[in-house]
């Protein structure tokens, strides 16, 4: 059983949620990704829609544990976050630009 808990890598703010994760399947799409979701509430029902899912880097650094170790993914993400301490703010900036270019920005929205 893996000890990695994706909730460790979730940042929720306003009506948005960021999830950082590792994809490593031996393909050209491998890397560290950020998925951003938007919450919509309609008649009390909450729905989360994926706005985008983008690769932050294809570079996966070395770890002190093997790929088979349950702590592998957690360590990869922690190293990346440590090397990029402004990641959350940078992603909020990216999200603002993405929303502006997609025309999906709500009036008065403050990220």
Would you say residue 104 has pLDDT above 90?
Answer: no
Q: How far is CA 102 from the centre of its chain?
A: 19
* % of the chain at pLDDT higher than 70: 85
Terminal alpha carbon distance of the chain: 37
Mean pLDDT computed over 72-90: 91
Instruction: Dump pLDDT digits (tens) for 1-55.
Output: 344 455 567 888 899 999 999 998 889 999 999 999 999 999 989 999 999 999 9
Sequence-separated (6 or more) residues with CB below 8 Å from residue 49: 37, 38, 40
């Amino acid at each position: 059983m893996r000890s990695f808990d994706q909730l460790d890598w979730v940042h929720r703010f306003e009506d948005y949620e960021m999830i950082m994760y590792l994809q490593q399947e031996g393909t050209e799409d491998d890397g560290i990704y950020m998925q951003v979701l938007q919450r919509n509430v309609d008649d009390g029902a909450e729905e989360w829609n994926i706005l985008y899912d983008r690769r932050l880097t294809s570079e996966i650094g070395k770890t002190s544990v093997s790929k088979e170790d349950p702590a592998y993914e957690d360590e990869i993400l922690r190293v990346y976050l440590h090397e990029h301490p402004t990641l959350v703010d940078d992603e909020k900036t990216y999200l603002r630009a993405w929303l502006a270019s997609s025309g999906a920005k709500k009036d008065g929205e403050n990220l």
